[in-house]
Amino acid sequence: MERHPTAGSPVGHAAEVGLVALVAVVVVFVGWSLVGANPLHRQAVVWVANLLMLVGVRIGLRRRGGSWADLGLSLRGGGLRAVGRTILQAIVVLVLAMVAFVAGGIAMQILAPAGTAVDTSGYEYLRGNLPRLLMALPAVYLVSSFGEEVLYRGFLIERIRGIVGQGRVGWSVAVLASAVVFGLAHFDWGFVGVVQTFCMGLVLAIAYVATKQNLWALVLAHAIMDTLLLVQIYQSPAAS
């Protein structure tokens, strides 16, 4: 019998979310206290936290008798048609997510004090360093493009639906909560970065619902956005 991704008790879903979140909080704040202010080392700690959260998600899926497909990591129907549909969905999601990100930045320029911007100093180690860029991209694809979509869309949305309910209210609460948590997870980007990633996360969460939980489309769109961001940082002039 096929198992629904939100099967189980609300308490069980809440406990699973809490444990995965606890892993992230402990690893990041303990890790950062150990590595100091070095941006490369701090980024490595975040990557380790994401990987450990993915392990936690996988353990939870196994305990439920489920698989990654329960979170949307499947190409329904298979074949070239499914691949083509996923690519087209990814392109639409990419455009809408980037528009939302930019719109969030414009809104903050209007509402926030002059001179505010996303803080990408944590990626300073990439500026003008091609070998580091080439090494960072595969890691980012795994822990950010893939990992964040699994964690903040597939896992979090399905678990919150398991807590709140299966209807329209459950979907709405899960989508909004996913976007809020995704924005807060980027707190090291500064307040503007939190707002912009919230806007982007809201579009990604809605896209997860609109594509009938086709998480691969979101992963592909996220990977392209991550590539554009890192290449832009690599090409940007050094701070004076």
Query: Residue ranges per domain, the chain?
Result: 10-235
CA distance 5 to 141: 25
Placement of tokens 């890192």 in the chain: 230
What's the CA dihedral at 223, 79, 88, 93 to 10 degrees?
-50
Q: Which two tokens stand for residue 129?
A: 């360093």
Residue type present at position 183: G
11-62 pLDDT, tens per residue? Answer: 999 999 999 999 999 999 999 999 998 988 999 999 999 999 999 999 999 9
DSSP H or E stretch at residue 145: none
Q: Are 94 and 199 in contact (CB under 8 A)?
A: no
Q: Are 177 and 208 in contact (CB under 8 A)?
A: no
The CA distances from residue 65 to 5, 60, 163, 201, 220, in Å, are 10, 9, 19, 29, 27
Percent of the chain with pLDDT over 70: 94
**What does the pLDDT look like over 84-133, one tens digit per residue?**
999 999 999 999 999 999 999 999 888 876 656 788 888 888 999 999 99
pTM above 0.95, yes or no: no
